[in-house]
Every structure is written in C-alpha cells, then in structure tokens.
A and B are shown apart, each in its own frame.
Chain A
Amino acid sequence: MKNNIIILAFLSFCFCCTLSAQQTTPIRTSKSTLGLSAGYNYGWFKDTNYSPLIYTSKGRLFALTYEHEGKKGNLFQAQLSYSGGEDTTPFSDSFMADFWQGDIELAWLKKLNVANPKTDLYLGGQYHFDLNMNIFIDTDYAFTFLFAHRFELKTKLNHQINQKNSFHLSAAIPVASYVVRPPYTGYDDDLDANQDKYLKLVSTNGDWRTFNKYFAIKFNAGYNYQLTERIGTSINYDFNFQKESQFKQAQHQVKLGLNYKF
C-alpha cells in the first residue's frame, strides 16, 4: 500500500512536470537526466550455505537513476535501486523467506568514435555495490547474504532511432570484487557483534576476488520514448547473474520509468 502511494505521488509529480515542460518549452541541449522507475523482479537463487534448495524470488523493484553527459560526450551515471519480496520453494510453504536487494552503481564511461552518427558507444568503469539478504521468516534463525563491492568494466550503446525513440544496451562485468559472505557455518561472533552496525557488516570478513572465485554480469536493454523535450518514458529489462562457490543467483527485472532532462 505504502509503495502504491509512493508510485502514485511520483506519477503525479511527473505529470505536473510534463505540463510545466509543455508550457515553457525552453530550447537548449539537455545534459543531465534524472529517472525514476518501478517494476518487477523475478529470479532464482541457490545458496548451499543457507539451504540445499533452490528458491524463487519475486518482488517489487524501484530505481532512481541519474546520467550526466560531459563536454566531450563522456557519461557519468549513478543508479540506486531496491527490490524486496519473498523467496519461495515448491518443497514447503513453511520455507518462505524475505529478501532484500539493494544496488548502488557509479559509472564513468568514455565516448568512443563510431561511424554511425545516430549511435553512441561508451566504455568505462563502474563501482557497483550489490547487497543481497535473505531471511527465513518462520524463525528468522536462518539467513544468508552476499555483499559485493564490484569494480566493473562497463560498456553501453545508445541508438537514436528518430527524434522521439531510442534504445540502449549495456553490460557490466566485475574484474575485481570485495565479497562478504556468511561464515562457513552461517554464523559467528563477528556477525553477532556487528548485526546492528550495517556499514561494518557489509565490510567485515570479506575477501578480494576476481573471475575465478566470483563471477557476475549485469545486462541491460532499454527503450526510451520522449514525450516532450524534457520528459520521457522508458522500459528497461535487466538480467543479473552472479555466482561464487556456494551462491548462484539469476534475476530478470522489468521496470517502467519516467525520465526528466535538465
């Protein structure tokens, strides 16, 4: 209910912005874009540290994005996203768990030369903090998590179909990651001592890993439709996959959003 109110408020705000944009219609090149989107997250995870079973995760998804184009066409991107919902398994209704996911992404992408004037190609780096938390509802005495501070190689392609329509594709893979996982037995004194100290929790007892011990990929495909000079809508599909020795997760995310250029 609370989420629905937030979405409604957001859409109302965007509608007002649209009207405002139609009235003023300033003529200038927009360099920054702020976007807000909501959608659905569907995926699976298997974490043998937590359970031998595969869980299906379903839940809502919210994301706030910011993109700024620099003087040389290079991009700075930031994204904050949250998803929460339930993990289920067909083996028992009693095994239901809550999940929370959060992502913070900060990217700098250099514009590359491409022959096609309607197409922009970028390559750069990204810091990506990925938080995954799953807690067994029945007793809360079972949980698992994966916190990954990922330093990623990212590429993005934008293609302007016409004045109002465009699409983009991007992919990112971490080359080095600081990964924090529960201890082998799931629980220890450090976790107990730091359970209320969230910043310490996401950086305690982790280790640096590269491709052989932690692999992840995030793929994004999106389509934008420009309603006015400033206001646009978008639909995005994300595919996320990550795995390490005990943990595998795959997710499909679809989200609809509104963008505001300024």
Chain B
Amino acid sequence: MKNSIITLIALTFLISFSSCKETLVGPEEINDPENNFELLWNDLNNHYGLFQARGWDWDAVYSEFRPQVNANTTDDELWEVLSNMIETLDDSHTYIGIPNTEKQFVSGNASTEEAEKIFDRQVTVDNYLEDFMDLDETKDFSTGKVQNKDIGYIYLGGFGDSRLDMIDDVMVDMEKRAAIIIDLRNNSGGMNRHTDHIVGKFINDERWYASVKDKIGPGPNEFSDPVKKFSKPSTETPYLKPVVVLTDGASVSAAEDFLLQAKLFNHFTQIGDVTCGDLSDTSMTRFLPNGWIFGFSTREYRLPDGSLIDGIGHHPDVFVKNKIEDVENGIDEVMETAIQYLFDQYGIQ
C-alpha cells in the first residue's frame, strides 16, 4: 500500500513536470527577419483602427514591402523596411523602437520635427512672460503672466505625468485675468481624462464633441458601436473670458482632444499652425521576437458631422508660424500675434 502511494505521488509529479512548455502554452515564435515582419504587419492588420478612415490599403503595403525582407535581411535593413512601411500610415501614434535605447521611428513625424525647431520655450519665457514658474519637474505644466498685460499664461507640454491636479490652484490666480493664453505648442499628448479635467475649467456646458469607435476584432469592419463623447464642466465657476490656444504641428493627440472640446465654445480662439492631425489613441506597447517594440492607433474618432481630425488636424482661426531666424533672434511671432489679437478683439492690454 505504502509503495503504491509513493508511486502515485511520484507519477503525479512526473506527469506535471514533464508537461513541457510547448505542449501547455504553444510553440514559441521564431526570431528571424521574415517572422518579425509578418508579426508586425499582421498585428497592425488585425488591430489598427484607421485603415478605412484614412483610406490606407494595407494589403498593397504588404505587397510592396514583404519582398524586401528575406532570411538574410540584416537588423539595419529590417529597421529600414519596417520604418518605411509604417511611414505610409502617416500617423504619429504608430512607431517602432528598441527599449532602453534612443532608437525609435515615429510615422508621420515631419510636422512635429519642424515644429520643434520653431518653438523655443525659453524665448517665450524670457521675452514675453513674467512670474513664470514650472509647476513640476517635467516642465510640462507651467504658469505665468504676459509682461505688463492682464493676460494669464499656461503652458501645457503634455497631458501625461505632470501635476495637472494643480490646475485648481492655478485657476485661483488665473480667474482674475482679463484673458488667458493656453500654450499647447509642442504638446506631446497624454491621457484624455487629464484633458477633460483641464478643459472642464473653461467651459460651462455639456456638448457632444466626438464619437469614438474601438477596434473589437480582426476583421476590417469589426468596430464597436460609436460612443458619444461629451465635454463637461469640471468646476462650478468656469473661466469664460477670452482664451487663446496656441498650437503648432507638434500639438498632438490629447492636445487635439482639448481643442475638439474647446472650439465648441466661442470664447476660445486657436492661433498658430495646424495641429499634427493624430487624434486616435495609441495601442499598448507591442513586442517582437527580435527585441523591438511597436505601437499604433486603435480607435476612430469622428466629429459630430462625421469628419475626421486624424490626417487633417485642427486648422487655426488665426494662422501664424514662427520662422527659425526669428526664434534665434528672440522673437516668438505666434505669441505676439496672440497678444495683438486679444487687444484688437477685446481691447485687453
């Protein structure tokens, strides 16, 4: 009896331990150039949310780029092919990268790169602002006042990890200003819940600003039913005096979500350049066997009239764009235009 019990226990252990990984959870992916290409292409094919909205033919992209990869393709060559492939999507939510390195390629990033060259925050701070302070170490949330004017200034470089919960404290000082400039230039986006909270300080009404569909399956038409998104006040005493929002080609994603809501209200004016035009949300980080990561857009946002911001961007009410030489000479023409606009339209000085 004793021997049979020991045998039974031993067998139990043996059976379980001998059950190999492959039997239990399936085969491991192969790390070769062709499989890495296939995995990335297929992942986008199954999950990317903007093929139809943007009119991209992903099968045609496969036909163009797949022959460029074979078993002998080097890492550098594969990087080039994948970069060129995702560039066809013209979508800065779509990228490939290598963790813990600087190596990253972002699709459709030309407007961002240009905008980064023609905005120097220090020029704005030194020559146009007073009482300026960064509210946290990220320098993505800062406040101040336009020199010798009754105009408040808020810089939002992103809607991510900065101390955006401090907006309530900021508004205590801002609410006495005759106008506010909200600077979204070089805003890299972030979480929509942060956007909603901040824009809610400046609006007094619930308004339908977009409908969102999520990809819910691999088929090209497998989307969720559209969900209406409404702007909502986040305070009982919103700021309803003139607000100018400064934008450039690097104002992206959550910054564009901010504008979607703000531009439904007449006291907002957008001044600057057309925004990036990438409103959708980025997927979770995705992984490839060669150690690379990638991500892409997963949602389709449409305005109430059915139009898109993705690929188009927000066109400003007053178009103005800095020149590199002006910035080098300490001139921020976008800022000057905003100050002049507030004087011309509202007599604020």
Contact = CB atoms under 8 A, between A and B. Distances in A.
Nearest to A223: B9
Given A91-B289, A239-B16, A185 B100 contact: no
Interface stretch (A7-15, A28-36, A133-141): A133-141
A219 interface: yes
9 contacts: A46-B25, A46-B26, A53-B28, A91-B290, A94-B98, A161-B5, A186-B283, A187-B298, A219-B12
B291 A141 contact: no
A237 B13 contact: yes
Interface of A: 44-46, 50-54, 56, 89, 91-92, 94-95, 136, 138-139, 141-143, 159, 161, 167, 169, 183-189, 192-193, 219, 221, 223, 237, 239, 241, 248-250, 252
A54 B28 contact: yes
A46 B100 CA distance: 24
Given A138-B285, A143-B284, A185-B47, 16 more contacts: A44-B21, A51-B286, A52-B43, A53-B28, A54-B28, A94-B99, A95-B291, A141-B285, A184-B214, A185-B215, A185-B283, A185-B298, A185-B299, A189-B192, A192-B193, A248-B24
Contacts of B216: 183-185
Contact of A92 (B47, B99, B282, B299): B99
Contacts of B24: 44, 241, 248, 250
Contact of A45 (B13, B25, B217, B287): B25
Contacts of A221: 9, 12-13
Most A-side CB within 10 Å, residue of B17, B25, B193 = B25
Ranked nearest first, the 10 interchain pairs of A and B with the lowest CB-CB distance are A92-B291, A94-B99, A142-B285, A186-B284, A250-B24, A185-B298, A51-B287, A248-B25, A142-B284, A239-B16
Contacts of A142: 284-287
B138 to A, nearest CB: 16
Interface in B1-48: 2, 5, 8-9, 12-13, 16-17, 19, 21, 24-26, 28-29, 31, 39, 43, 47
Contacts of A186: 283-284, 298
Nearest to B291: A92
Nearest to A45: B25
B313 interface: no
A187 B99 contact: no
A167 B19 CA distance: 23
B227 interface: yes
B191 interface: yes
Nearest to A241: B24
A176 B202 CA distance: 49
A250 B21 CA distance: 8
Interface in B85-114: 98-100
A252 B14 CA distance: 12
B32 to A, nearest CB: 12
Contacts of B2: 161
Given A51-B286, A138-B99, A189-B227, A169 B12 contact: yes
Interface in B270-326: 281-291, 298-299
B227 to A, nearest CB: 7
A256 to B, nearest CB: 15
Nearest to B282: A141
A45 to B, nearest CB: 7
A112 to B, nearest CB: 19
B287 A95 contact: yes
B144 interface: no
Contacts of A183: 214, 216
Contacts of A167: 5, 9
B49 interface: yes
Interface in B110-150: none
A186 B299 CA distance: 12
Given A167-B5, A183-B216, A252 B16 contact: yes
B100 A44 contact: no
A193 B193 contact: yes
Most B-side CB within 10 Å, residue of A92, A94, A159, A248 = A92
Contacts of B25: 44-46, 54, 248-250
A113 B43 CA distance: 55
A54 B9 contact: no
B107 to A, nearest CB: 17
Nearest to A49: B284
B9 A52 contact: no
B12 A141 contact: no
Nearest to B216: A184
A174 to B, nearest CB: 18
Given A46-B26, A221-B13, A91 B31 contact: yes
B189 to A, nearest CB: 13
A169 B5 CA distance: 11
B5 A53 contact: no
A193 B196 CA distance: 12
Contacts of B49: 185
Nearest to A159: B5
Most A-side CB within 10 Å, residue of B26, B284, B286, B288 = B284
Interface string B209-241: 000101111000000000100000000000000
Nearest to B98: A94
Contact of A139 (B98, B191, B285, B299): B285
A252 B17 contact: yes
Nearest to A222: B9
Nearest to A90: B28
Nearest to A142: B285
Contact of A187 (B5, B13, B281, B290): B281
